[in-house]
Structure 1
Amino acid sequence: MHIEKRKAGNKTKYYLIHNYREGAKVKKVSRYLGSDLTKEKLEKIRPIAERQILQRVKVIRKINDPLLEALSEEEITQIKNLEQKKSFVIFHLSKEQWKRFSELFTYSTNAIEGSELSKKEVKDILNKDKWPKDKEKEDISEAYGVQNAIEHIRKTKVHLSIELIEKIHEIIFKNSKEFAGYLRTKGIEVVVKDGLGNIVHEGAPSENVRQLLKVLVGWYEKHKNKYPPILLAAVIHNQFENIHPFEDGNGRVGRILLNNILLKHNLPPVNIDLRRRKRYYQALQEHETNHDIRPTIELLLDEYKSMKRELGGYKK
């Protein structure tokens, strides 16, 4: 790393610069240290800035590639064997089952993120426009938003794009968040902590968000006819959550994207049940930390079984 000075009017601005290699390319990361700094001040600030830059590079490298490398034929076979082991059978939802799925999914996906609406309240909101008087308006608005997002992915022909990602966020949060539909801008960083205050996930640096989403879309386009659909959906979902492109609402957008990929490959949608929230987060951690996508796929296959019991018989 090295210090770079830049003249700005009568001031001299100081930046710490770090170059690192990413494949065949050399990338540069910089951090502004301040202006007109003394030697003593620079020596005090530099170690802190160095640690921050190295952590930032670590996050970028960890998030940059969904699977780090292409899967081998053996690994693809293992994924397909998982489907057989779990007795996964493709099925399709009737009109009434879609209605029931929408209620279940809306309840679960919002409850995972802290909504206090009950299953019955969600059902009454979506089907009767009956609003509970003692619940937050944001929760009610986002119940409608999730339902509308489900309808959107049922109609759109787009598999994955940045525009689709922004649109889904806008649909869900247009009446509850002022930044609905807008990716994080420079300076807005996301850190997820557990109940004890420990950092369990850092989203991508804000200035890298759009580029990482482009990489993700490109990865999908390259592999959408090569990998099993459930693997594609799992990777897109998990990688989207790793990037965490929005200031808030990433979980719900990610689970809608998951279902959009499944639907575009003629698979049924899936609901992540609130009762399996802990397992869901553990699967995300396993992918982020150890690049192991199988826990997520196993969860999805188990959720399919559970959903079939919940919704009743299906048309094959």
Structure 2
Amino acid sequence: MQNISDELLNPRLSLLNKLGGISSPVVTNNEWLYLLTEETRNSILIEGYFVDKKSLQDVFSNKKYKNNSDDVDKAVNYHQAANTFYGLAYNDYVDKTDSFLTSAIIKTINSTLRQGDNDTGFRRDHIVITGSKHTPPDYVDIEYLIKNHFLEHIIKSRKAYMAGGIKLSTYINSIAKLHCLFEAIHPFADGNGRTGRIFLNCMLIASGLPPVIIKGADNDRNKYYAALEEFDSKLGNSLNFRDSFYRIDNLIKDEGNAELMTGIIYDSLLYSLDTFICNTLENKGVKISPIADIAPSMGYTADSLRVMVNRGQLIAKKAGKTWCSSEILLIKNNMTEIESTI
């Protein structure tokens, strides 16, 4: 499995929890606004839909938007689905329940994303994925696969993580495999990617973690599809023969088996944790400044701080193209300076 570090994850999660944990996913909250906006833009971009930032701002402020296109409609529907189901997942986190872990919720996410499309629900025919060597399972097996091989493993993994039975890095690997499995099952006629990415973030939010932004630009999109194909190659034809379904469970249970997707989610989670922490601190009155401004007082050059950001040693967020942070967010001995004062 790709080398992902609990040493970078744990200080961030510890600090976030001491700051009160993730807040309710309301788009008016500064902590959530940036993440939800960027997630919407990137998730639909993966599937070839582009919305400029001005139109997205109109979408999130409920204004009438001039560019009334299919692309904007996709953004509106994605925003609505994310707002609704992230709220449900957050309530499950607070209440320690798992009401979002049902086939009905998955179907409703998809129908929300595909408003106006009469062909909703799990697909009722065979399907070929353009550009993929993978053959999805027969449609008659979808309900069984989702319930017994997808949702069942999510429930077990989340329960183990929330009880402290597995490390966060192990949980990320489980989530990565399950996301790949969902896309391999390809349960819907359309919108599988968007549905899967929203449900992926529901899993994270229901576990007290912020949502991830899987980038949609060309290179990033290619890496994402390569990660799905990596898992597909290990699945082989396991989804196509009922006698082989047991091999799915072995893939999910064994460590590894989705190295590329694990790396994508890990990097994205670090980014989201840093953004959430910085925004939360700003709301509490802590000044978050461009790293070039804080470098002299920290005894480093701006270039050195950028290297630390890339290595995960300095918690920082991006404001436009500028990395911003605070000297109290440097990680030393698995702890930030500010954490010792909270």
Residue ranges of structure 2 left out of the alignment (5+ in a row): 24-28, 93-98, 161-165, 236-256, 281-338
Question: Under a length normalisation based on structure 1, what TM-score does the superposition of the two structures give?
Answer: 0.65
Cα gap change, 1:219 to 1:306, in 2 (>3 Å)? closer
1:143 corresponds to 2:75: yes
Question: Which of 289, 301, 307 is matched with 2:266 structurally?
Answer: 301
Cα gap change, 1:224 to 1:307, in 2 (>3 Å)? closer
| Matches of 1:221 and 1:307, distance apart in 2 | 23
Q: CA deviation at 1:314?
A: 4.6
Judge which range, 300-309 or 246-255, deviates more: 300-309
**Alignment deviations for residues 244-284 of structure 1 (CA, whole Å, 9 cap, x no partner):** 00000000000001000111111111010113111111111
Q: Secondary structure at the match of 1:192?
A: coil
**Alignment deviations for residues 209-261 of structure 1 (CA, whole Å, 9 cap, x no partner):** 11111121222233332354323322221111010000000000000010001
Question: 1:212 — aligned with what?
Answer: 145
Question: Which of 122, 132, 135 is matched with 1:183 structurally?
Answer: 122
Aligned residue pairs: how many? 228
Q: Which amino acid aligns with 1:110?
A: I
Question: 1:260 — aligned with what?
Answer: 202
Q: Which amino acid aligns with 2:4?
A: L
Question: 1:39 — aligned with what?
Answer: none
| Matches of 1:121 and 1:284, distance apart in 2 | 30
Q: CA deviation at 1:146?
A: 1.1
| Matches of 1:312 and 1:121, distance apart in 2 | 27
Question: 1:104 — aligned with what?
Answer: 38
1:166 corresponds to 2:131: no
Q: CA contact under 8 A between 2:179 and 2:196: conserved in structure 1?
A: yes
Residue ranges of structure 1 left out of the alignment (5+ in a row): 1-77
| Matches of 1:248 and 1:112, distance apart in 2 | 14
Q: CA deviation at 1:93?
A: 5.2
| Matches of 2:207 and 2:277, distance apart in 1 | 22
Cα gap change, 1:266 to 1:282, in 2 (>3 Å)? same
- Structure with more contact order per residue of length (Cα contacts < 8 Å, sep ≥ 6): 2
Give the % identical residues.
Answer: 24
| Matches of 1:312 and 1:102, distance apart in 2 | 15
| Matches of 1:141 and 1:178, distance apart in 2 | 16
Q: CA contact under 8 A between 1:262 and 1:268: conserved in structure 2?
A: yes
Q: Which amino acid aligns with 1:168?
A: I
| Matches of 1:269 and 1:206, distance apart in 2 | 30
Q: Which amino acid aligns with 1:240?
A: F
Q: CA contact under 8 A between 2:122 and 2:187: conserved in structure 1?
A: yes
Q: CA RMSD in A?
A: 2.5
